[in-house]
Amino acid sequence: MSVERALEGTGVWLDDRLHGARGVRVLLRKVFPDHWSFLLGEIILYSFIILLLTGTFLTLWFQPSMTDVIYHGSYIPLRGVRMSEAYASTLNISFDVRGGLLMRQIHHWAADLFMAAIMAHMIRVFFTGAYRKPREINWLIGIVLFTLGMFEGLFGYSLPDDLLSGAGLRITEGILQSFPIVGTYLAFFLFGGPFPGHDIIPRLYILHVLVIPGLILALVTVHLFLMFHQKHTQMPGKGRTNENVVGAPMYPYFMAKTGAFFFFTFAVLALAGTFAQINAVWLYGPYNPVAMSAGSQPDFYMGALEGSLRMFPPWQWVFFGHTFAFNVFVPALLPLGIVFGGAAMWPFLEQWITGDRREHHLNDRPRNAPTRTALGIAMITFYGVLWAEGANDIIADHLDVPLYLTTWIARVAWLVAPILAYIITKRICLGLQRKDAHLLEHGVETGIIRQLPGGEFIEETRPVDEEALAVLTSRNVPPPLPALVPAETDVPPPGMRGRLGKVRERLYNVVTESVPMPEPHANGHGNGHGNGHAVEGNGHGQESLPAGSSPEPRSGEDQH
């Protein structure tokens, strides 16, 4: 009772000052829809929090300094070796601070998980169409966060100033130098003179611990606020429409579930940090510009960039006394530019092509947007080829394939594989749509064979149940193109005129290519479907979209 009184007292005290009772009450009942794929975003958030916690711990001992010191610490193999203070303090954290190695390893694993979860989350959002209006801003923020995460990671693993990360910085310098006109200036300004100089570690340090995390934190906050404000999307299901959100309330359900998920994320990272050694910098040795070991790999999220640099043919132009390092500049910027730029433009391109400017809160099933899904898989394939090429020496070694052959495969595959992936994916999607249409049209096979009085055998089928029906019939049908609407005049409507209009019409036909939905039977078809008839449509399909369709106020169905 006294706890209750204390809580009430605190609440009253706060409400007197903040007028929070009304708003917070609504907040407590805020509905969060459930789907396993919605957890991917949470992994990002929690690994970011773990990064902040472990990172703060590491800063207590890390010395961002390139001053030469002779190592005298506990790691015997490196005693007496000349190294930078940054490297020495990293050894110190690993071998002389209790829990230091664990925190370092959790920090590094968390960074990898952060990037992996961003990728998975982006893929989920893309394939379910969750980036559509009104969520384009959050999609763009996500792409910026991905880019920031790449730099944050690169700068972070460069800080220990070990041999491996030093090579990464050397490559960074080389890429900067390849920029036309300003390249050498950029490199000299970043490194404070010729490579490696003595400034780069302190500079990366402040970027890594303050500037970029600050930006990420700000953008994550906006991202979450928008998600909160716009309400989460939901997967199709019975009782779920474009006009409602079905799920468990935030308090206590979502809070407890997401809390548990935070613990799970931390547990997995702690397990990884305990049992899976990562970035063992003491084995690499301190950086020096003369040494390099075979099989050097960046962290996985830089792999695509690495592969792109490895794969590109040796093209370089010299004109008017200037060198344009085409072989560095283009592969450093173009492929990732295509991936990120393409991702950023797609929502707007899709809107323009389909003319679909409605709000979408009910997610698409990937098969129901075959072209989008195929484009996404093509992009993943494109990225994947580059990524694999980034480890081609390891692949060549383990699979016993000639090294140069792997490069040639990548050179061909980065152009061909995405096209194949597009075609195959689209076929698979359309096939799955056909299967859905078949289910809707003919019902579920029961396995019961019946002999009709005339001697004919038929198989019993039964209509799908309401939950499955809601999923199967949830398909977003884009509005027809203006030109396809019968018009009184011969003049095409605006947006469809000229050559651009033709292009748009053609793209529209590609983007909206789908297997036609079976004719929905009239409503009121009722529940008493006769059995035994192969053709048995289902009337009460919820069209996924049309604004103002009657929303079902509440559902008592079993979901999950």
Partner 1 sequence: MSDTNSPGQPGAGESGEGSWPQYLSRGESHGATASGASASSAAEPEGIRGPRRVIGTPSPATARTLLAPGEGEPRREVVVRELPAEPEDPAHAKRMEKVVAACFLIAGLAGFAFLVFYGTIGVGSITAVTHSNLALGGSMALMFLLLGIGATLWVRHLMPTVELTEQRHPMHATEEERAAFKETFEQGAEASGFVKRPIVRRSLMLATLPLAIAPIFLLRDTGPLPGTSLDYTVWRKGQRLLIYGTGRPITPAEFSSPGSIISVGPEGYLDDDDAMAKAAVTLIKFRPGELVFGPNRKPGGPSTPNTVVPNWTVDNIVAYSKICTHLGCPAALYEQTTFRILCPCHQSTFLATEGARVIFGPATRALPQLPIGVDAEGYLIALGDFNEPVGPSFWERS
State which of residues 41, 55, 64, 247 lies at the interface with partner 1 (CB under 8 A): 247
- The tokens for 357 are 């400017």
Based on the shown chain and the rule CB under 8 A, indicate whether residue 546 belongs to the binding site for partner 1. no
Based on the shown chain and the rule CB under 8 A, indicate whether residue 285 belongs to the binding site for partner 1. no
Contact between 515 and 437 (Cβ < 8 Å):
yes
Rg of the chain on CA atoms, in Å: 29
From the CB of 9, what's the least distance to partner 1, in Å?
24
Contact between 470 and 236 (Cβ < 8 Å):
yes
Based on the shown chain and the rule CB under 8 A, indicate whether residue 360 belongs to the binding site for partner 1. no
Sole window of 16-24, 75-83, 474-482, 508-516 interacting with partner 1 (rule: CB under 8 A) = 75-83
Sole window of 142-150, 257-265, 412-420, 426-434 interacting with partner 1 (rule: CB under 8 A) = 257-265
- The tokens for 154 are 């690169």
Residue 201's φ and ψ, nearest 5 degrees, are -65, -50
Residue 263's φ and ψ, nearest 5 degrees, are -60, -40
State which of residues 211, 215, 248, 428 lies at the interface with partner 1 (CB under 8 A): 248
Contact between 176 and 187 (Cβ < 8 Å):
yes
d(CA 98, CA 60) in angstroms, rounded, equals 13
Q: Which of residues 393-432 bind partner 1 (CB under 8 A)?
A: 393, 403-404, 407
From the CB of 341, what's the least distance to partner 1, in Å?
23
Question: From its phi and psi, is residue 231 left (phi > 0), alpha (psi between -120 and 50) or beta?
Answer: left
Place of tokens 């060198």: 323
From the CB of 95, what's the least distance to partner 1, in Å?
5
Q: How many CB atoms lie within 10 A of CB 227?
A: 14
Q: Which of residues 153-192 bind partner 1 (CB under 8 A)?
A: 167, 170-171, 173-175, 177-185, 187-192
Based on the shown chain and the rule CB under 8 A, indicate whether residue 64 belongs to the binding site for partner 1. no
Sole window of 6-14, 15-23, 326-334, 485-493 interacting with partner 1 (rule: CB under 8 A) = 326-334
For residue 468, CA distances in Å to 64, 238, 475, 505, 551 come to 58, 8, 13, 34, 18
Q: Which of 117, 112, 108, 116 is nearest to 54 (CA)?
A: 108
d(CA 58, CA 427) in angstroms, rounded, equals 50
- In terms of DSSP H, where are the helices of 128-235? 136-158, 163-177, 183-191, 200-206, 212-230
Q: Tell me how many residues contact partner 1 (CB under 8 A).
A: 147
Per-residue contact string for residues 221-240; x = within reach of partner 1 by CB under 8 A:
---------xx-------x-
Which lies closer to partner 1 via its Cβ, residue 376 or residue 541?
541
d(CA 551, CA 165) in angstroms, rounded, equals 56
From the CB of 118, what's the least distance to partner 1, in Å?
22
Q: Which of residues 494-523 bind partner 1 (CB under 8 A)?
A: none
From the CB of 459, what's the least distance to partner 1, in Å?
9
Based on the shown chain and the rule CB under 8 A, indicate whether residue 56 belongs to the binding site for partner 1. no
From the CB of 307, what's the least distance to partner 1, in Å?
9
Q: Which of residues 435-494 bind partner 1 (CB under 8 A)?
A: 439, 444-448, 450-453, 460, 462-469
From the CB of 488, what's the least distance to partner 1, in Å?
28
From the CB of 131, what's the least distance to partner 1, in Å?
15
Provide the Cα torsion 117, 123, 124, 125; round to 10°.
110
d(CA 411, CA 324) in angstroms, rounded, equals 21
From the CB of 450, what's the least distance to partner 1, in Å?
6
